[in-house]
Amino acid sequence: MARNTDELRIVVGYTADDSGADALALGARIAAATEGRLEVVLVLPIEARGGVVPPDPGYERLVKERGRGWLAEASASIGDDIAQALHIRYAESFAEGLTAAAHEFGAALIVVGAARGGLLGRVRIGSVANELLHSSDVPVALAPAGSRDVRLGQGITRVTAAVGTRPGAQRLIEASVALARASHAPVRLVSLVPIDLPSGLDAELAHLTSTAHAEEVLDSARAALPAGVQASAQVATGDSVEDAVKALDWHAGELVLVGSSRLASGHRLFLGSTAAKMLRELPVPMIVVPRTRG
Amino acid sequence: MTQPQSKNPPADPPLTTATSAVGDERGLSKKGLSAGSVGLIGAIIIGISCIAPAYTLTAALGPTVSEVGVQVPAIILVGFIPMLLVAFGYRELNRRMPDSGTSFTWATRAFGPWIGWMAGWGLVAATILVLSNLAGIAVDFLFLLISQVAGTPELAELAHNPVINVVTCLVFMLAATWVSYRDMQTTQKLQYWLVGFQILVLVLFSVVALAEVANGNAFDATPIDWSWFNPFAVESFSAFAAGLSLSIFIFWGWDVTLTMNEETRGSEKTPGRAATITVGVIVALYLLISVSLISFAGVGEGEFGLGNPDIQDNVFFALAGPVLGPLAVLVSIAVLTSSASSLQSTFVSPARTLLAMGHYGALPEKFARVSPRFFTPGYATIVSSIAASVFYAVMRFLSENVLWDTITALGMMICFYYGITAFACVWFFRKQWFHSVREFFFTLLFPLVGGVILGVLFFTTLIDSMDPDYGSGSSVFGVGLVFVLGMVVLLAGVGVMIWQRVRRPAFFRGETLSRASAD
């Protein structure tokens, strides 16, 4: 999925706090596993964007200098083994700056820290990640809180594509396969089947119908795989999406890819309700892929 | 692996900043390359919202009338002169040494650490005084607005209950701190509307007041006279000086338009033009409003007279209803939005100065902290907010006329640190004075004259304010409250400075920020 097929370029949206450390750690882990290249980007706000506070070149300079220091510390924390470059960009918003940087570098992935006060390591999407999910046309990886404590050597042990229950996930499959190839990890296709029925209906019948439907979707997804790619496939059921997620087994070094909502406009991302529910339960990082080719 | 937090990052980290990584030839939008720029209109809007004419006039008109009577228009015209002269010096310094510490850094460079420290303290104290005053005015107008909307005038009286007043004020402060800490700015577009609305309401207010005078419905119709514009008609030099130091306050904030030199788009003339247009608009508004309100209400001590001490600390609050009737609600909205914008732009300056002081080791290093998420001086912002809140709460219980006295003390503080800044400019550029005619005027003559005027104002106000009847007439131990306020603030600064000298001698030995001069 990279523009240069030989090297996966990964933009890390860095901030000098826990969330930024999560993003950096996840980005570094993916880069290490795929022998890709990290573009660590610190987005500074354009001071003149507002109509109230007068811009002050002195302060601006100081923030830029501080930003350099932060990036240098970030760089030192991931070591020299990973190809990396550090960048400072100015933009109206964090999301805008990262999207622009991803285009500039031809990056295949933007990594941001997802958590802002999420409980117990689970993900609660912060405003920054949320804005990015609404505007990016490049896949976005959400690093859950605690990603900074995962060893770099953990690598990527499996790539799971959550294909949902509706067909039409071509780009998602492609992205998953590319990532799996680059990181030499196996692919797993997963279809989640929440069974949430009003009482009175025949639960058994409903279960059969939805499961059968999910199998069909998985079959069509498998058919979409490029020749020679082997993938396991699983249907997960539960009373809810959350339960279905819990019912699956997860590797510590796993990555999950989901397609963006069908409601997203154009090539943009937008997290659908199923993906949002998954995110709450997933113990591993999630990558959201725009539905159509950008 | 964690890196020790160091103030000075390692030299040459493997970094590409936007400017070096990509050039224009790649067709990248300029946005990514720098912190951005402000156009002519944007600069004017920022200038006007920093000055916040609606807030400034409601707070300063009463105290100014109490000093100089009907000669307010004259004082407004004259008060602009020292401000302009000092602003020229400010601009030269900002051009040569752009630094977030402004007066602190410049005075340290010119006169060494002790004077520099006190200049920084003066700036921080002045802005903290104005923050508390702003929030106080906003509280008054919030209750007025609620009472106007609800149609129950008694609600406006709630603002006079000290407990309710202080609690509301603290809530405002908290909100303003939150907004500043997160750097949530209103967009330029919204600000255009807010500033436009503010100006329209002020013009409407004045025109209606004049119409009421013409119709014979004015409270105390006073015929407009040319002597109002004659500064020599002011009774005494003391009154003149006090009035001037207040009018310094009403133009305070204007200098930002003149110093936005690096950021403004377009030709080199943009900042000058922006500053000229801004001050033209402001002076016209001030004259219009002061003339119309004096003409409407007179300067007597009657119910709505501008000389009535009960209404002097917030004259629009008292006069909006009698002048505009049901439309008075517009004035409340204008003053509230004006205070809100001003609260935000004002918050920035003590925080940035404190940050610079922390950065150079003149204060604990905590002050130099920049929020990694919002890129604001986080710690310094919170400290400023707490100081302003405590100051307001204490003052509210100490004096009924807290707003009035803070405005007067504020004028004094501005004279103090602006004066030092002006002299710093003169001294810093001492080797360049005679390089050209331009240098002579802008680095020697203008700032020197401005600095001397401010110095005279400072000392005159300081001496006069010892009189217990000075200003609002509040006094502590038989000495005027304004004097006590000024001295407490300045001596506290000296105290903290000596304490910091003991704790952090490096700055005071000139190791972090050395004396220098332009050559």
Q: Are residues A107 and A240 in the same domain?
A: no
Q: What gap in Å lies between CA A289 and CA A29, rounded to an integer? A: 19
Share of chain A above pLDDT 90, in %: 25
Q: What's the confidence (pLDDT) of residue B16?
A: 47
- Would A3 be classed as within a structural domain? no
- Given A118, A152, A186, which residue is the final one in a domain? A152
Q: What's the confidence (pLDDT) of residue B69?
A: 87
Confidence of residue A264 (pLDDT cuts 50, 70, 90): low
Q: Are residues A14 and A148 in the same domain?
A: yes
Q: Are residues A141 and A126 in the same domain?
A: yes
B373 φ/ψ angles, rounded to the nearest 5 degrees: -100, -40
Confidence of residue A270 (pLDDT cuts 50, 70, 90): low
| Arithmetic mean of pLDDT, A211-233 | 78
Q: How many domains does chain A have?
A: 2
- Would A106 be classed as within a structural domain? yes
Q: Are residues A160 and A147 in the same domain?
A: no
Q: Are residues A218 and A142 in the same domain?
A: no
Q: Among partner residues A45, A62, A86, which is closest to B100 by beta-carbon distance?
A: A62
B38 touches chain A (CB under 8 A): yes
Q: What gap in Å lies between CA B409 and CA B127, rounded to an integer? A: 11
Q: Which strands make up the sheet holding A231-238, listed edge to edge? A: A231-238, A187-194, A158-162, A254-259, A286-289, A140-143, A109-113, A9-13, A37-45, A83-91, B15-17
Q: Are residues A13 and A148 in the same domain?
A: yes
**Mean pLDDT comparison of A80-84, A169-173, B2-6, highest-scoring range:** A80-84
- Given A152, A175, A199, which residue is the final one in a domain? A152
pLDDT tens for each residue of chain B, 519 residues long: 333 333 333 333 444 444 333 333 332 333 455 555 677 888 888 889 888 999 999 888 988 898 888 999 999 999 888 888 998 898 888 888 888 888 999 999 999 999 999 999 999 999 998 888 888 888 888 998 898 888 887 888 888 888 898 999 999 899 989 888 888 777 778 888 889 999 999 999 999 999 998 888 888 888 888 889 988 888 888 888 888 888 888 888 887 777 665 555 555 677 778 888 898 999 999 999 999 999 998 888 888 888 888 888 788 888 888 888 888 889 989 999 898 888 888 888 899 999 999 999 999 999 999 998 888 898 999 999 999 999 888 888 877 677 778 888 888 899 999 999 999 999 999 998 999 999 999 999 999 999 999 999 999 988 988 888 777 777 778 888 889 888 999 999 999 999 999 999 999 998 888 888 877
CB B272 within 8 A of CB B258: yes
B192 touches chain A (CB under 8 A): yes
List, as ranges, residues 35-94 from A with C-beta within 8 Å of B: 44-66, 68-73, 75-77, 79, 84-92
Q: What's the confidence (pLDDT) of residue B199?
A: 94
Q: What's the confidence (pLDDT) of residue B476?
A: 78
A117 touches chain B (CB under 8 A): no
- Would A269 be classed as within a structural domain? yes
- Would A171 be classed as within a structural domain? yes
Q: Are residues A147 and A20 in the same domain?
A: yes
Q: Are residues A128 and A110 in the same domain?
A: yes
Please, how many CA atoms are within 13 Å of residue A45, restricted to the half-sphere of its CB? 20
Chain B partners of A104 at a C-beta cutoff of 8 Å? 22, 26, 28, 32
Confidence of residue A9 (pLDDT cuts 50, 70, 90): very high
- Would A261 be classed as within a structural domain? yes
Whether this model's ipTM surpasses 0.85 comes out as no
- Would A201 be classed as within a structural domain? yes
B1 touches chain A (CB under 8 A): yes
**Mean pLDDT comparison of A114-128, A239-253, B486-500, highest-scoring range:** B486-500
Q: Are residues A239 and A276 in the same domain?
A: yes
**Count of Cβ atoms closer than 10 Å to residue A66 Cβ:** 21
Confidence of residue A3 (pLDDT cuts 50, 70, 90): very low
Range of the domain at A52: 9-152
**Residues B355, A62: C-beta atoms closer than 8 Å:** yes
Smallest CA–CA distance, residue B513 to chain A, in Å, is 15
The residue of chain A nearest to residue B348, with distances taken between CA atoms, is: A53
| Arithmetic mean of pLDDT, A231-245 | 82
Look up the CATH number of the domain holding residue A28: 3.40.50.620
Chain B partners of A64 at a C-beta cutoff of 8 Å? 17, 35
**Residues B15, A68: C-beta atoms closer than 8 Å:** yes
**Residues A54, B46: C-beta atoms closer than 8 Å:** yes
Q: Are residues A112 and A47 in the same domain?
A: yes
Q: Are residues A103 and A52 in the same domain?
A: yes
pLDDT exceeds cutoff 80 at A255:
yes
Chain A partners of B6 at a C-beta cutoff of 8 Å? 69
- In tens, the pLDDT along A182-213 reads 998 999 988 877 665 555 556 677 777 777 77
Q: What's the confidence (pLDDT) of residue A293?
A: 46
- Would A4 be classed as within a structural domain? no
- Would A50 be classed as within a structural domain? yes
The two structure tokens encoding residue A50: 């507002």
Q: What's the confidence (pLDDT) of residue B21?
A: 34
Smallest CA–CA distance, residue A25 to chain B, in Å, is 11
A116 touches chain B (CB under 8 A): no
Q: Are residues A142 and A55 in the same domain?
A: yes
B20 touches chain A (CB under 8 A): no
Q: What's the confidence (pLDDT) of residue B140?
A: 86
- Which residues are CB-neighbours of B462 under 8 A, at least 6 positions away? B412, B483, B486, B487
- Given A152, A179, A201, which residue is the final one in a domain? A152
| Residue-averaged pLDDT of chain A | 80
